[in-house]
Amino acid sequence: MFKTGGALIDAETAFTRARRGARLRRLRRARVQLPVYSTPHVVTARGGVHEIPIEAIHGTLEPSRATQFDATFAPVRASARRRWERVWIAEERGVMLPPISVVPVDGGYAVRDGHHRVSVARARGAIAIDAAIGY
């Protein structure tokens, strides 16, 4: 990824690139919709924080987030821009972000909290992310 040296410019460019990719996938009629899983009755973190593969994250527990991100967690709405860019800039500056919160589903995980962090991590090419796994 090309860096300009300006965190905000890099974040804006990355968001635009990620959103463009989501639009192209939608035009190709690729699997676009972020799957929504039912919320388990009891969702509590167990066993602390673990590093999980980004590719193992398959969906969300939040129906409203399914309209903001596609199946690859690329942003599809402009309304996600400012928060997405703030997460990008925080990572660029080395800020330690809290772990995402996930629950196991269908051999992978669904996000409970941390959709923007997952999206930015994917856009940055991360292969793993810290997560509190609930059951």
Show me where the domains of the chain are located: 7-134
pLDDT tens figures, 101-130: 999 988 899 999 999 999 999 999 999 999
Distance CA 18, CA 56 (A): 19
Distance CA 119, CA 127 (A): 12
Report the pLDDT value the prediction gives residue 41, as an integer from 0 to 100.
53
* Average pLDDT for runs of 10 along the chain of length 135: 71 82 67 75 65 95 90 89 93 93 90 96 95 87
Query: % helix / strand / coil in the chain, to the nearest 5?
Result: 40, 25, 35
C-alpha distances in Å from residue 22, one per residue of 13, 53, 77, 99, 124:
14, 21, 10, 25, 15
Report the pLDDT value the prediction gives residue 3, as an integer from 0 to 100.
63
Q: Write out the two tokens for 79.
A: 């309304």
Q: Write out the two tokens for 49.
A: 């924080």
Report the pLDDT value the prediction gives residue 22, as an integer from 0 to 100.
73
Distance CA 26, CA 76 (A): 10
CATH of 7-134, one of 3.30.70.3150, 3.90.1530.10, 2.60.120.10, 3.90.1010.10: 3.90.1530.10
- Phi, psi for 44 (deg, rounded to 5): -130, 145
- The helix (H) or strand (E) run that includes residue 107 is none
Report the pLDDT value the prediction gives residue 44, as an integer from 0 to 100.
58
